[in-house]
Every structure is written in structure tokens, then in C-alpha cells.
């Protein structure tokens, strides 16, 4: 990850102090959580999902759906909130998604979505923070 490329940045030490070890591993080291282990996998309340690193709004709850893949899934991101990078790690070609404000790794996007958008944003619960809109 390029240092200081993003509008919101911290030193590595500041990231380690502000995030849990698991959130740091996912957001800053491009890790992933175990499938079906994240707190937002089966979470469908009304509200918004923000980057856990910097608070940027990434997804709205109306775009979340149950993809049965083991991670929170969305069919649309907030416009301009994410950057897309080619990822050829783990012997496959994928598109990584990162927060456009801080560069925090969110997960990957795939073109196999079952909704009208045809895409599935597969996101780590450790990289997002839900903020309720109430009932």
C-alpha cells in the first residue's frame, strides 16, 4: 500500500494503536476473516456501513443481501467510496476493493451477483462499522 496516497493516513504505529489486531490484519495487511465468522454476515438492520479505519461511508443497508458466501455482501457501493485493484494472489484473478479515503482493504468484488446490478461486493466484517438509522 502506497504511503500518503490517500487523504486520510496514519503511521503504521497509529493504525496498530487505533485498530484491534484482527481489524489491523484485515484493513492494513489485506487479510480476511473466516467465512461465516464476521458480525455482519447475517446482519440486516437499517443503516449504513462505514470503513472501520476512517469512517467513510461505503455501503447502505438497502444494498446488502444474503449471498450465502460467508461474508457480508452488497450489490452496490456508495459512488466514489472504493478503489478497485487487480489482485492475482492465491492463484486466482480477483478485483480487490479498498477504501478510497484511507486505502483500507475491504474485500473483493465479483461479477456473479444475483441482483439486477450483477455484482457482489464480498466484504470483511472486520473492515466495516455499522451505524444504525433506527426503525
Verify whether residue 99 is a known catalytic residue: no
Would you call 26 exposed, middle or buried from its count of C-beta atoms within 10 A (0-12, 13-18, 19+)? buried
What is the distance between the alpha carbons of residues 119 and 63, in angstroms, rounded to a whole number? Answer: 11
Kindly name the residue from 51, 54, 99, 122 that is annotated as catalytic. Answer: 122
Please list the residues that pair with 66 across neighbouring strands.
none
What is the distance between the alpha carbons of residues 42 and 83, in angstroms, rounded to a whole number? Answer: 25
- Residues assigned a catalytic role: 122
Amino acid at each position: 500500500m502506497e504511503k500518503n496516497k490517500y487523504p486520510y493516513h496514519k503511521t503504521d504505529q497509529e493504525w496498530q494503536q487505533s485498530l484491534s489486531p484482527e481489524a489491523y490484519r484485515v484493513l492494513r495487511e489485506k487479510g480476511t476473516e473466516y467465512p461465516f465468522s464476521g458480525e455482519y454476515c447475517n446482519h440486516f438492520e437499517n443503516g449504513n456501513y462505514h470503513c472501520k479505519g476512517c469512517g467513510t461511508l461505503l455501503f447502505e443497508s438497502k444494498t446488502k443481501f444474503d449471498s450465502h458466501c460467508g461474508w457480508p455482501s452488497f450489490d452496490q457501493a456508495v459512488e466514489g467510496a472504493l478503489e478497485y485493484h487487480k489482485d492475482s494472489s492465491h492463484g486466482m484473478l480477483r478485483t480487490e476493493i479498498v477504501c478510497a479515503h484511507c486505502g483500507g482493504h475491504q474485500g473483493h468484488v465479483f461479477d456473479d451477483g444475483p441482483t439486477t446490478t450483477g455484482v457482489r461486493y464480498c466484504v470483511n466484517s472486520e473492515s466495516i462499522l455499522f451505524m444504525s438509522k433506527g426503525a
